[in-house]
């Protein structure tokens, strides 16, 4: 098994996993260790627990204090810590690398849907929608029930969700020392906003310029990733960006092959 965790440690064999569980049980119950309780908890025989305890004693993981009395040693604690760390890394690997690859999407149901229903997927206003029936270019199967207007989990996506990438128009706003929002032409801002599905600003200068044009932006904190995500979902975006943040936006858009136009506010007056 490969991955960031390297291997699964105690999960590599049933014997290793059993040893780990028994030593944990010893640590929980010490110094009076009831072998029958451990056997029932782990799912082995009392004789097996006794055999493991003998092995632990030989390896220096436990000290035998008398009949039925064992205490875990520093070496035993160190082994548990080491194996627990390996298990944690393995779990993180499975959660972050393996399960994320199991395709599960969330969409808005356009009608009441039952679990296990085959549906069609469509992108509308930047949001994935689940329509009843399988006539669309992309289909999937619901994994949860949903009523119209609520979210539904879908998997087993087949086909291609047919939509075009959006574009981004960036209107660069100078710093406050260079005039800030006063450099914006309100008529130009209003006209551009009317031509785009989403209006975002990323700084106070842009917010002030939007409000001077009689507008309230859809997004007041237009980070580079948020703008890119909106365009990647098919929305045309107008962004009033502070001059200090321009490179973050343009670098992100180029990296993800999103088309954009950069306008200087002072040249649009």
Strand 118-124 relative to strand 127-132, pairing: antiparallel
Residue 145: CA count within 13 A, CB half-sphere: 3
Residue that is last in its domain, among 159, 179, 196: 159
Query: Of the candidates 72, 99, 126, which is a domain's last residue?
Result: 99
| Same domain for 257 and 210 | yes
The answer to whether 63 and 77 are in contact (CB under 8 A) is no
Same domain, 69 and 128: no
CATH number at residue 238: 3.40.1010.20
Position 43 in a domain: yes
Per-residue pLDDT, 9? 66
pTM for the complete prediction?
A: 0.58
The pLDDT assigned to 86 comes to 82
Is residue 35 in some structural domain? Answer: yes
Residues of the chain short of pLDDT 50, as ranges, are: 1-6, 101
Residues 207 and 248 in one domain: yes
Give the pLDDT of residue 186.
Answer: 92
Q: Are residues 217 and 235 in the same domain?
A: yes
Of 48, 72, 99, the domain-final residue = 99
Number of domains the chain is built from: 3
Confirm whether 3 is domain-assigned. Answer: no
Model confidence pLDDT, tens digit, residues 181-228? 998 999 999 999 999 999 999 999 999 999 999 999 999 999 999 999
Q: Does the residue 2 lie in any domain? A: no
Q: Which residues contact 2 (CB under 8 A, 6 or more apart)?
A: none
Specify whether 262 is located in the same domain as 175. yes
Rounded to whole angstroms, what are the CA distances from 136 to 55, 131, 199, 261? 63, 9, 30, 33
Between the CA of residue 125 and those of 57, 130, 154, 231, what are the distances in Å? 66, 13, 19, 10
- Domain span at residue 73? 9-99
Structure tokens at 70: 């064992």
Edge to edge, what strands does the sheet with 168-173 contain? 198-201, 237-242, 168-173, 260-264
**Residue 64 domain-assigned (yes or no):** yes
Q: Can you give the CATH number for the domain in which 53 is found?
A: 1.10.10.10
Residue 132: its H or E element: strand 127-132
Whether 201 and 261 share a structural domain: yes
* Residue 229 and residue 174 share a domain: yes
Kindly state the tokens that stand for 243.
């001059």
Looking at the structure, do residues 44 and 126 belong to the same domain, yes or no?
Answer: no
Taking CA atoms, 260 is separated from 12, 32, 115, 121, 255, in Å, by 51, 71, 40, 27, 12
- Whether residue 234 sits in one domain with residue 192: yes
Q: Does residue 225 fall inside a structural domain?
A: yes
My answer on whether 22 and 79 are in the same domain is yes
Q: What is the pLDDT of residue 92?
A: 73
- The answer to whether position 92 is within a domain reads yes
Which segments of 133-214 are extended strands (E)?
A: 138-142, 151-159, 168-173, 198-201
Q: Kindly state whether residues 155 and 172 are assigned to the same domain.
A: no
Same domain membership, residue 173 and residue 122: no
Assigned domain for 1 exists:
no
């Amino acid at each position: 098994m490969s991955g960031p965790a390297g291997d699964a440690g105690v999960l590599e064999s049933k014997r290793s996993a059993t040893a780990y569980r028994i030593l944990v049980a010893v640590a929980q119950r010490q110094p009076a260790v009831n072998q029958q309780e451990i056997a029932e908890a782990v799912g082995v025989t009392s004789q097996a627990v006794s055999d493991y305890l003998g092995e632990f004693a030989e390896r220096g993981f436990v000290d035998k204090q008398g009949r039925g009395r064992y205490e875990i040693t520093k070496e035993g604690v160190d082994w548990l810590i080491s194996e627990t760390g390996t298990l944690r890394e393995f779990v993180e690997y499975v959660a972050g690398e393996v399960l994320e690859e199991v395709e599960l999407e969330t969409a808005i149901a356009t009608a009441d849907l039952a679990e296990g229903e085959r549906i069609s997927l469509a992108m509308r206003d930047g949001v994935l929608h689940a329509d009843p029936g399988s006539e669309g270019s992309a289909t999937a199967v619901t994994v949860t029930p949903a009523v119209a207007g609520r979210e539904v989990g879908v998997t087993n996506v087949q086909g291609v969700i047919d939509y075009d990438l959006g574009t981004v128009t960036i209107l660069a706003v100078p710093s406050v020392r260079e005039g800030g929002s006063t450099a914006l032409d309100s008529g130009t801002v209003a006209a551009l906003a009317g031509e785009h599905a989403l209006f975002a600003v990323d700084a106070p200068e842009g917010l002030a310029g939007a409000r001077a044009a009689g507008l309230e932006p859809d997004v007041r904190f237009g980070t580079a990733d948020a703008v890119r995500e909106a365009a990647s979902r098919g929305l045309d975006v107008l962004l009033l960006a502070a001059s200090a943040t321009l490179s973050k936006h343009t670098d992100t858009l180029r990296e993800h092959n999103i088309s954009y136009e950069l306008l200087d506010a002072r040249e649009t007056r």
